[in-house]
Each structure stands twice: as C-alpha cells, then as structure tokens.
Structure 1
Amino acid sequence: MHQSDHAGAVAPPDLLASVPDAVCHLDREWRFTWVNTPLEELLGRPAHALLGRTALACVPDLRGSEFEDQLRGLMTDGRPRVFEYLHRPRDRWFEVRASADATGLVVFIRDVDSRHREQAAQAHALRQTAAVLDALPSPTVLLDGGGRIRSVNRGWSANDDLVRAAGWQVAGTGDDYLAQIAQGLPPSDLARIAEGLTELRAAPPGSTDRVFACDYAQQLADGDSWWRLQAARVDDSGQLVVTHTDISERVRDQHRLAWQASHDDLTGLPNRARLLELIEQALADDDGRTALLFLDLDGFKTVNDSLGHEVGDELLRRVGARLAGQVRPGDAVGRLGGDQFVVLARSCDTPEAASLAFRLQRSFARPFTAAGLTVPVSASIGVAVAQPGLRHAHQLLSDADAAGYAAKAAGRDRVHLFSPGLRDAARWRMDVANRLRDGAQDQFVVHYQPVVRLDTGEVEGVEALLRWQHPERGLLGPDAFLSVAEETGQLIPITRWLLHETTRQAAEWAEQGLALRMAVNISARHFSAETLVRDVRAALRDSGLAPEQLMLELTETCVAEDPTRAEDQLAVLQGFGVRVAIDDFGTGWSSLAQLMALPIGTLKIDRSLITAAERLAAGGTGAVLGAIVELAHTLGIRSVAEGVETADHLRMVREAGCDSAQGYLLARPMAARDVERWANRVSDGGGDSCALALAGRLG
C-alpha cells in the first residue's frame, strides 16, 4: 500500500493490501492520499505519480462523467454510493463503491466488464427470445433451469383477466411455473406435467428426446378449457420453452362427435352401440339382475305413410320423451332405430320388469300430440330378464327382441315375457332370413287349391299357395317364413317370382284346354313400394295369360294400412282386366260399407266366420252368413266361402247364397300336375265337384 506524505493523510488498514479491487483514498480536494497496487495497475501509473495529485488531474476524462457526479454527491450528503460506470475511453464497465470518512472518500473500483457484457448479452438474447415468443399466438413462457418463469409472451398475458376472475394469482416473471399452473389443475395432470418437464431437463446433451407434450383441462372463469402443453429444451442449461395451445374447440368437437356416435340423432336417446355398452355395464354391476324391455310401436308405418315423415319423426321424439319420464331413476331408454325402443332396467327381477312393462303399456293409453295432431299409438313390449351368469349384452338384447317379436305376433298392444323357446324361434327366423337372402327361391314350390261354383260344381279357378321345400325341415307353409321375408325386404321379390310362376302355369293349363282363373295373394308391402302394377303387367306379358284370368287377393288389414294408395293401384289393375278379391273377410277391422270405395269384385269369407255362423245357426240366431252374402250381392260383389270342410259347411254356404267355395271337403291344395288329374276326375264324374265330394268320389 502506497501512502502520501501530505499532512492529514489517513493510513489505510493493512487488510486493504490484500483486496483485489482497485482501492484509493481521496481527500476533500480530490487528491490521492493512498492507493493500492491494483489501482496503480488500473491507471497505468506508479503510486508516486498519483499521490498528492487530484484524481481529475490524473484521469482528465473523469471530468463531467457520472463518476464525478456520484462522488461529488457523496462529498455533499455523505451517503454511500454503489453504481456501475462505463469508462468510455476504455469502453469498459466498472463497479464503483464509495463511502465518506472524516478526511475524504474511500473508493473501491472493480472491473465488471465481462460480467456486465455477459448480462447485457443475456438481456439482449432474452429480448430477442421475448420478441420471438410474442410472435407466437399461443400463451408461451420461457423457464430457467430451476423452473422459474424468465419471460412470458402477449398470449400468456392476454389471459390475466380470466385468471383473476377465477380467483387465481397471475403468473409472471420470476414465479415458479408449476406452482402457478397448479391453480385449477387436477393433481393428476399437475404430476404428469411436473414429471414430463423433469425428464425433459434430465435428458443428456444431444438427446433426440427434447420435447414433452400432454393435454390437460382447466376451469377458467368463462368455463372449462382444454390445452395442449408442449415443452422443448432451449439449450443444455435446462431452459425450456413451454407453449399452451387452446384445443377447447377441438375437444368440444370430439365430444360432440363421440356423443353423436353414441346417441340417436332424432330423439337424443342412446343408440344401439351405446345401449350395448350400458347393458354390458349393468350385467357386470348388478350381478345379472338386469332386465330389458323391447318396445315396437304398433301401426307406426301407417302414421308415417299417411301423415308424413315430419309427424312420424315428432311422434318418435314424443314417445322417447314419455318413456324417459316413466322409467325408474337409474334406468335408461334408448332407440334401436325405426319405431323400436329399449328400456334398460337395473337391479330388476322378473315381477318388477313385468310391472314396469305394463306401466309403460298403460302410458300409451294417452294419445300423443305431434305437429299439432293427436296421434293414438300403442306398443308391443317384449321383456327379458338376465339369467344368472349372463354377461353378454347381445344375448340379452336378442332375448328381448325375441319376446318383442312374440308380442307383435300375438296382436297389437301386448306384453310378452321371454322364454327359452323364443330363442329357438329367433334362431329359426335368422336362419330363414339368411337362406332367403342366399337364394332360397329355388326351393319354393306352389300348390293350388281348386275353387268351385256352388250352383253347378264346376271348377272355376285355383288359389296359389306358396310352399318352401326346406332341405332339412321338409315342406313348409307360408306362416313359417313369409313374416321374416317381409321384415327383411324379401317379400316383394318373392311375390314377383310367384306372379311369374303362377301366370305361366295358368297360361300352360289354358293351352291344354283347362281354363282356370289364378288367384294370387298380394301383401301391403307391394302397395307401399308402388311396383305392383308394373310387376303384374310384366308377369302377364311374359306368360301371355289373359288379364281376366288373374285375380289378386288382398286382406282387409293390407288394404287398411293405406286405403288411398291401394285404391289408386287397384283401379289401374282393374282397368286392364285384372280382378281383385278381399281375402280372409271377417278377420280384419273393415265392413262391407268401408270396402265399397275399392274396385273389388270378390269377397272371400274366412273360415272363422263360417265356423261362427255355424254356431249361431245352431243356436237359432238366424242366418248371419246369408245376410253378409246378400249385402255383398247388393253391392255387386261375388262371395267365395273358404274352409268348407264338412257336408254341413257345404249345405250352409249354399243356403247362404255363396257363389263359390273352397276347402278340404272339395279339394286339398295340390301340386300343378295333380290339378290336371283332379280336374279330369271331376270332368269324368259329370262335372259337379260338389256332388262328387259329397259322394266321396274325389279321394
């Protein structure tokens, strides 16, 4: 340490000799009174050239600088000064610490140029980074190696109001990132993010795994929001850039799509796929005490066809809403499609399920209002309760479907409980559907039952009766497969085949001199498809049969489903000669007066009506059958009695005035080749089949 001999100089403490900073003492005239070696080195002058001289004389470029201003202020107020000073001639930064003593000032000068420039570079880099971050639209933060926020962009700050509105603290520079985002974040998501960021920092230098991403949900003041966090390492110091992309709209779209995939668009109820999931869960949770109610609306097709799809759709929505309001808490209502609904009843045994079914059935007693119209509708309900050990939703739904099919087959507005026998019936229907789809028409055969005149016994025609020569079950009647054909859309192709086959056969008989009118049954489906006229014309054209030799038979209920459409098509058919008959009269809802508007020429009286008339006649209640026939004649309609099986039946229908008859007494259904032999026997016996049948001469 070098000291001036000037009077009043203060000797420096010995400890300053070892200080690495440049240190000096100035008296109140700014003269150096002592200096240390680092100061000599800093100024490039020996101590003897400095001591006793003023600092401004030794270093003239300090004059007028911040250095001079700060020290003069210290001389005035005596308060210590600490400041950084850029010595421009050297273009170096120094840190200056000065304090006053009794004789002047003690000044410490430290070269901090490297540190200052490093900090300046870092600040510049940070400003550049901030500028880059601000260019990103997503909220983004820069984290230091310790996980604190170094910088945020405008996107991050833009959410400050929402954060405050949620009651949380706004996260800014210097805050612990994880501590701040923990607000409103589920602990599981926070732990996942913390683990991901830690692993990202711990990745070795040069590692390719330098990105972490995850999605999380957060509840802000304006509702739930979803974010995708993506973090990337900036360098090996552990700094991370973390962006937060708002994926709320995308997630909502995904939720909407997921909802739509599991719910019915029309009613908003769970669809088939979702119902199967719910059934599966119920079977597992309720230890098998699960019931399914399968509801099939009665007559919905008539509503749809007659009132329009708008009314039909509104009716389905109303039905779904009413069912949902009738079930127990915890139960579920779904729509399978069309007019079929399912009710899933949890923790439900058979008596409870039956009680629920009957309650739902009674709820249909109140008509529905759809598009301003009052629409009465009922439902056929099948009930299936899971047996112990059943875990497959498809099986329980299949059982409920089978019970619903049985309810529908038993008539409208019925409830039917599942039994194992229905499962066999369901398998049979499935087998039939598959075989029909795979070309079972090659196995179809047609049998013919003669129709004879009651006044002369002459054979006037035959009714075509479809049969299926099943490879395993033998010859099957139409009841075994036609209902399945109707459900699967195969009925119209089958009827089209039947028209071609029967008209061909009738034309062939006509060429052989056996002129028989051919009667063919037609379903309501053919009216709805509006191809009946075209199909009949095609069959007549291909076969060459005269139109007058073809009679189409339709049931009352078939016509009743859409009387206007039936009337239009039947009128066209009658116009070119085809005859029309109402089949099975007495089993439907109509009366002769209701049938007057239709272009029919024949009324076929069902066997059940003949049996009932027989009982009434035995009780002395009068000739009911005769009254029906007389009214038909008044309307210009011929009558054919079906199911004539005994001599008493034949006598009764004759006395009633029926025009024609068919039944086992006269002839059973037979193959085409047997019709010719039977007709020949009638001809050889005199031509009166009724007399021959009574005499037992027709076999």
Structure 2
Amino acid sequence: MHGHVPSGHVAPADPFSSITDAVYRIDRRWRFTYVNAAAERLLGRRADEMIGRYAFECFPETLGTVIEDVYRAVLADGRVREFQYFYPPLDRWFEIRAFADAGGLTAFLRDVDDQHRADQQRVAELRQLGAVLEALPPATVVLTGDGRIEMVNRAWTANGEVLERSGDRSAPVGERYLDAMARYVDAEHHAGIAAGLRRLTDTRNPASTFTCDYPHQVGADTAWFRLQAARVDASDRVIVTHTDITERVRDQQALAWRASHDDLTGLPNRARLLQLIGEALQDGAGRAALLFLDLDGFKTVNDSLGHEVGDELLRQVGGRLAEQVRPEDAVGRLGADQFLVLARDCDTAEAAALAFRLQSSFSRPFHAAGISVPLSASIGVAAAAPGADRAHQLLSDADAAAFAAKGAGRDRVHVFSPGLREAARWRLEVANRLRDGAVDEFVVHYQPVVRVDTGEIEGVEALLRWQHPERGLLTPDAFLSVAEETGQLIPITRWLLGETTRQAAAWAEQGLPLRMSVNISARHFSAETLVHDVRVALHDSGLAPESLVLELTETSVAEDPTRAEDQLAVLQSSGVTVAIDDFGTGWSSLAQLLALPIGTLKIDRSLLTAAARLAAHGTGPVLAAIVSLARTLGIRSVAEGVETPAHLQMVRDAGCDLAQGYLLAQPMPASDVLRWASRVRAAGGDSCAFALRTRTR
C-alpha cells in the first residue's frame, strides 16, 4: 500500500497492484487513503501527492458533478453504484464502480472512452437509421448479425396489425426474421429468402444486395411483395424492405394473359395455340390432331349486320366450340373468322369424327341483336404423324385442309393429305411471285362471242393467263384465289382493264370493232375503286364505253348487292354494259339480280348441259324459258359452253342472242384474233356456219 509504514513492520502485499483498473479509496471525510499504480497512471499524479488530501482539493473540477452525487449516495446507503463519467481535463469517458466499506468507499475506474464513443456513434447511427426507416414507405426491418429483428418502421408495425386482425401473428422486435417469414411465405420462397440472406452475411464473399418477389396469401386473395435486402455499411446489420407489388404483378399477369389470348373471345390466340400444340406433341409423343375452322361467308354477315353483331357471333362460336370438345382439348381463335381446336391424344379417325360433330353443332342458328343468324364452317383436319414435334407444320397442314374444304364449297370437312402440302407450297410461291411483279408474265387470251342468228362476230371475252416460266401457261384457277387472299386481285384487274381496252381500241383502228368483256371480282365493289379504274382505262385507251362489257358472277354480286348496284348504275349511265356471268350456279335471288342494271345474262355451260339433258327426256324447253324471261326484261342472253352442233341448235331454238364455246372458237392470243376474223369473213362472215364446216372436215 502507498503511504507511511511504521518501522519494523513489513508492508502487506498490495491486492490491487496487478489489476488494470484504476483503484482508489476515500474515507468518509473525502480524503484519499489508497491509490494503486493504475490510478496514478490514469489520473496523472503520484499517490503521495493524493493520499491524505481532500479529494476535491486534488480534483476540484469534480466538485458538484455526478461523482460527488453518486459517492454521497453510496456513503449514505452502502449500495453499489456503477456509472459513466466524462472527465474534461482528459477529454475521455470512464466507467466508475463505487463500493461502500466500513471506512468510506472504494472506486474502480476503467477507461471506456473508445467503447463509449463507439456506442454513441452506433446510437447516433441507429437514430439516423430509424429516421430513415420511418421515411420509407415499404414495411422495413433492420436485422442484427444473428438474424434477429432489431428495428422496424411504422409500415411494418401497421402490416403486423393487419395480420393480427386476419388471424396471423405479427413479427415483433427480437424475433428471428426467418422464423417470422416462415409464417408468411411458402417453403420454396422461404428457402430462396434464407439463401439470399446467407449470401449477404457471408464474410468470405458477401453479396451487396438481394432481391426476391414472393406471394403472400391474405384470405382468398394473393398479395405480392418484393423483398430487397442490403448490408448496412461497416456493420453486420441487414436492412430489408418489403414493397407491395400486387398491382404491378396483376398488371403483368394481365398483360401476359392478353399477349396469349384473343381480346374478343378470351380464347387462346395463335401464339398460345402454337405453344399448346408443341406441348401436346411432346407430351403425347406426336399423338395429337388439329381442326382448322373457317366460317363461311362471315364477311357478308359482318358487313350486312354490323361489326358489333359480328363480334357477338364470334364470341358465341367460340363458346359453342368450347362446349363440344373434351376437357383435355383446347379451342382458340386465330383471328378474323378462323378458329382452331387442338385435340390431344387423338388420331385421324377420331379427329374427323370430332370435326363432323362440330359441323353439326352449327345446325342450330346463332342469335344476336334479336335476330337468328345461320352460320356454317369449312373444317380442315390434320393429325400429327408419328414422332412429329413441329407445331407450325401441323398448323400448316390443318390450314391446307381447311383451304381445300373451302374450295369444295361451304360447310365441308376435309382431311389433310400430303398432296395438300404441295398445294400450300404452290400458293406460297404464287403469293411471293405476285408480290414480286408476276404481272409482267400475265397474258390475255380472247374467246370470240358471236351472234346466234347471223354468226356475225359480236365481241370477245378476255381470259387472263399466266405464262409461268417453269409451269407453262396457267389458267386463273391456279392463281386468282391466292391473288384475292393477298390483296393482289384488284391491281391485277386494274392491269387487265388497261390491257384489254387498249387491245380493243387497237383492233377497232384495224377495222375490227369488237365489244370487250372483262371479268370483275366482288372485291372491287368493297374497295370502291371500280368506277375510277374503269374510267381511267377507257380514258387512257380511247375506247368508247359502249365497247366495254363488265362480267360479274351472281355470287359476287350477292356478297354486297347495295354497293354493287350503286357502282354498276354509275357505269351503265356512262355507256358500259354489265353482264351477269355463270348464271344458274350461284342460287341467288332472281329478284335481287333483276334489280341490278344488267344488260347481258350469260347462261353457264352447266345450265346448258342440264337443259340439254332435260330436253332429251321430254321435260320441255327450260333454256327457252330463261331466254324468254331475259328478253322480256330487255336483257340480252349469251350461251356459254357451246361445244357441239347439238348445243348450237339448242341455243338457236331457245332464241339466245349470243353464244361462245369451243365449237365456235377456242380462246386465242391477241395476235390470232385478226387472222381468225379474216378467215370467217373470207368464208362469208357467218362464224357459226364456218365452225360447222370446219368441224366436219
């Protein structure tokens, strides 16, 4: 012990000499009675300078401070006190523990300045972090290094209150975060969150951030949250935010649904159907079939009843198809008036049976806007070949089969065969060549039209041909349907009008005035450019309007009779003649036809053949009745398909005005028309007599 030791006595060992804490003792008169070496170093004074002296005399700056207050309390009640004290002369913080004893008290001092300042900094950081947390809109927690919740913000607390009201337990401060999250998320997402947090706290290679979207079931609804976690700088803490992204996820789900479904019917669209077909081919080892349904004449329904009614009918068609298929099958809409049915685990025979069942379901009319609308569909059927795995190929095959069904007439079912694939490739080639300027390869052949009574040459019908570089001379059947599908038909017809009127004007200048008959499609009516295109062709060629005959089939007129009547009336008033071609094949309303400004009625060869057969059985002059009706209405009649002398005699007996056919003259290039006409003139000018004489040779 420091201080005076009587002679002859050995000083007892100092019990506090080896400890690192500073220790001193004061008596009840506040005088130092002991100071150890550590205290000397800490206080900066020797023990003999302090022992026996009044404490506040040695350290007057402590008078009236917390030290005096605490020491008086310890001396008064004898209880141990522990407190921290900032000593200004040393600018440091100390931890002091004071113990009462019989003579006064003993104080232990420890320098805790570094720890205290670190704690203060941590508190300040936490206070600042807390302020930041409260400013964050998402529910946010701060986790300690061992994964416990250390701090939360108001949004987290509010969410906890909502959870408690719904029967769930909230996550308070002190609970392990992953234990709490286990109550809110499924096992798969919980495992992902746990792995992400481990990466954040891994000191070997800590990640900087971690993000995870997870669902949370709230009653019958599913909410979605985005968890974003990051380490707090220079700390083992982790801050985790939970942002409600339910609306965003629902919007994304709605966008994804719209991207894969048809807006009108709600059925899968083309992209989704191709995905489903691919899955069916993979799952069923190629055992699947596809039905391609193309509604018949739906454009007419749409145009006549309006698009609102048309849309309602399409929705009803989709619903009826869905009712007819098996639960494992899928119904989708390709677009416009085309639907697809994917029949899983189905062969050709089963698919064909399904097609006929769907076809029969159309026997019941559809109802919209208070009216009953009959609809039918042409259906193509294609079953996947064994081992097939290409969805696009199966769709192409079903499309080709539907095209064949459509070509065979309305309300048909056609099963795919390999030959249709070649036909589909041909249509693609035609479409590409038409787009790339195949009009330069078009030629026109002309078939003479003659008067039946005198045999005089009346005019010619222009027949479009395609001089294909590889396939030779092609008739319109090989390419016009594709031209119509691809939108090339009107430009082709426009070119044909210009070419034929120019040719007719050239013949007239050479002394052979002929009336030029040109076939027009119904598409020209809907485009409403027919009047303009005809006027341009007549103006550029100089041909008189009276020398032009526009031929239209009765079915094309029936598709849009109002537009047809308006445009044809304008043309007729200018002098152009309108002819109804292929009469007897369209089964249209006679009253409707006769309401049009028709100048010529062309009797189809099929009707001519049927009339000949009826006449042979003594059933009466059917052809004469048709001709008589036309003449009564002021309409000239033209008999097509006159191929035999018997045909010629029959049309003469019936009183037909004009005739054309292979007996009289075959279609020929423009360069041959003058030579043929010269030969007829040289033989007397009667082409009928000339044809009969030529035939008997």
2:310 equivalent to 1:315 = no
Distance in 2 between residues matched to 1:620 and 1:698, nearest whole Å: 28
CA deviation after TM superposition for structure 1 residue 230, in Å:
4.9
Residues 594-644 of structure 1 deviation map (CA, whole Å, 9 limit, x = unaligned): 312100011111111111112222222222222222222222211111111
Q: Specify the alignment match of 2:451 in structure 1.
A: 453
Distance in 1 between residues matched to 2:47 and 2:443, nearest whole Å: 132
Distance in 1 between residues matched to 2:620 and 2:383, nearest whole Å: 51
Aligned partner of 2:420 among 422, 426, 446: 422
Moved more, 263-272 or 399-408: 263-272
Q: Specify the alignment match of 2:230 in structure 1.
A: 231
Partner AA of 2:265 in structure 1 = T
Residues 226-279 of structure 1 deviation map (CA, whole Å, 9 limit, x = unaligned): 4152525512x5444445555554444443333333222333322222221111
Residues 332-384 of structure 1 deviation map (CA, whole Å, 9 limit, x = unaligned): 22222221111111111122211221222122222223345433221111010
Aligned partner of 1:604 among 602, 605, 608: 602
Q: Specify the alignment match of 1:283 in structure 2.
A: 281
Shift in alpha-carbon separation, 1:14–1:506, aligned structure 2, 3 A: same
Shift in alpha-carbon separation, 1:565–1:13, aligned structure 2, 3 A: farther
Residues 405-459 of structure 1 deviation map (CA, whole Å, 9 limit, x = unaligned): 0111111111111111111111111111111111111221111111111222222
Alignment root-mean-square deviation, CA: 3.4
User: Any residues of structure 2 matched to 1:430-445 within 5 Å, and which?
Assistant: 430-445=428-443
CA deviation after TM superposition for structure 1 residue 518, in Å:
1.0
Alignment length, in residue pairs?
689
User: Any residues of structure 2 matched to 1:148-297 within 5 Å, and which?
Assistant: 148-154=148-154, 156-157=156-157, 159-164=159-164, 169-171=169-171, 173-202=173-202, 211-219=208-216, 221=218, 223-227=222-226, 229-232=228-231, 234-235=233-234, 237-297=235-295
CA deviation after TM superposition for structure 1 residue 564, in Å:
0.3
2:120 equivalent to 1:123 = no
Moved more, 18-27 or 355-364: 18-27
Q: Specify the alignment match of 2:298 in structure 1.
A: 300
Q: Is the 8 A contact 1:234 1:240 kept in 2?
A: no
Q: Specify the alignment match of 1:547 in structure 2.
A: 545
Distance in 1 between residues matched to 2:201 and 2:50, nearest whole Å: 56
Distance in 2 between residues matched to 1:567 and 1:259, nearest whole Å: 45
Distance in 2 between residues matched to 1:102 and 1:374, nearest whole Å: 114
Moved more, 299-308 or 57-66: 57-66
Q: Is the 8 A contact 1:228 1:245 kept in 2?
A: yes
Distance in 1 between residues matched to 2:104 and 2:189, nearest whole Å: 63
Q: Percent identity?
A: 68
Q: TM-score w.r.t. structure 2 length?
A: 0.89
Q: Is the 8 A contact 1:203 1:210 kept in 2?
A: no
Distance in 2 between residues matched to 1:232 and 1:20, nearest whole Å: 37
Residues 485-544 of structure 1 deviation map (CA, whole Å, 9 limit, x = unaligned): 111111111111111111111111111221211111111001111111111111111111
CA deviation after TM superposition for structure 1 residue 67, in Å:
5.0
Distance in 2 between residues matched to 1:312 and 1:591, nearest whole Å: 23
Distance in 2 between residues matched to 1:145 and 1:287, nearest whole Å: 54
Helix, strand or coil at the partner of 2:281: helix
Q: Specify the alignment match of 1:334 in structure 2.
A: 332
Moved more, 391-400 or 25-34: 25-34
Helix, strand or coil at the partner of 1:330: coil
Q: Specify the alignment match of 2:344 in structure 1.
A: 346
Partner AA of 1:677 in structure 2 = R
Distance in 2 between residues matched to 1:582 and 1:12, nearest whole Å: 140
Q: Specify the alignment match of 1:516 in structure 2.
A: 514
Shift in alpha-carbon separation, 1:96–1:626, aligned structure 2, 3 A: same
Distance in 2 between residues matched to 1:12 and 1:170, nearest whole Å: 63
Shift in alpha-carbon separation, 1:577–1:228, aligned structure 2, 3 A: farther
Moved more, 617-626 or 215-224: 215-224
Partner AA of 1:520 in structure 2 = V
Q: Specify the alignment match of 1:8 in structure 2.
A: none
Shift in alpha-carbon separation, 1:669–1:54, aligned structure 2, 3 A: same
Shift in alpha-carbon separation, 1:31–1:4, aligned structure 2, 3 A: farther
Shift in alpha-carbon separation, 1:372–1:226, aligned structure 2, 3 A: farther
2:637 equivalent to 1:642 = no
Partner AA of 2:495 in structure 1 = W
Q: Is the 8 A contact 2:639 2:656 kept in 1?
A: yes
Moved more, 65-74 or 344-353: 65-74
Distance in 1 between residues matched to 2:291 and 2:278, nearest whole Å: 15
Q: Is the 8 A contact 2:97 2:107 kept in 1?
A: yes
Moved more, 262-271 or 646-655: 262-271
Distance in 2 between residues matched to 1:213 and 1:247, nearest whole Å: 17
- In structure 2, stretches of 5+ residues that fail to align are 6-10
Helix, strand or coil at the partner of 1:514: coil
Residues 309-333 of structure 1 deviation map (CA, whole Å, 9 limit, x = unaligned): 2222332233223222332212222
Distance in 1 between residues matched to 2:14 and 2:350, nearest whole Å: 103
Distance in 1 between residues matched to 2:462 and 2:49, nearest whole Å: 141
CA deviation after TM superposition for structure 1 residue 295, in Å:
0.7
Distance in 2 between residues matched to 1:102 and 1:228, nearest whole Å: 62
Residues 543-567 of structure 1 deviation map (CA, whole Å, 9 limit, x = unaligned): 1111111111111110000000000
Distance in 2 between residues matched to 1:54 and 1:170, nearest whole Å: 59
Distance in 1 between residues matched to 2:253 and 2:165, nearest whole Å: 26
Helix, strand or coil at the partner of 1:382: strand
User: Any residues of structure 2 matched to 1:357-396 within 5 Å, and which?
Assistant: 357-396=355-394
Q: Is the 8 A contact 1:318 1:370 kept in 2?
A: no
Partner AA of 2:216 in structure 1 = Q
Q: TM-score w.r.t. structure 1 length?
A: 0.89
Moved more, 159-168 or 12-21: 12-21
Helix, strand or coil at the partner of 1:695: helix
Moved more, 25-34 or 251-260: 25-34
- In structure 1, stretches of 5+ residues that fail to align are 6-10
Distance in 2 between residues matched to 1:74 and 1:319, nearest whole Å: 96
Q: Is the 8 A contact 1:210 1:233 kept in 2?
A: no
Distance in 1 between residues matched to 2:334 and 2:114, nearest whole Å: 78
Partner AA of 1:121 in structure 2 = Q
Shift in alpha-carbon separation, 1:228–1:698, aligned structure 2, 3 A: farther
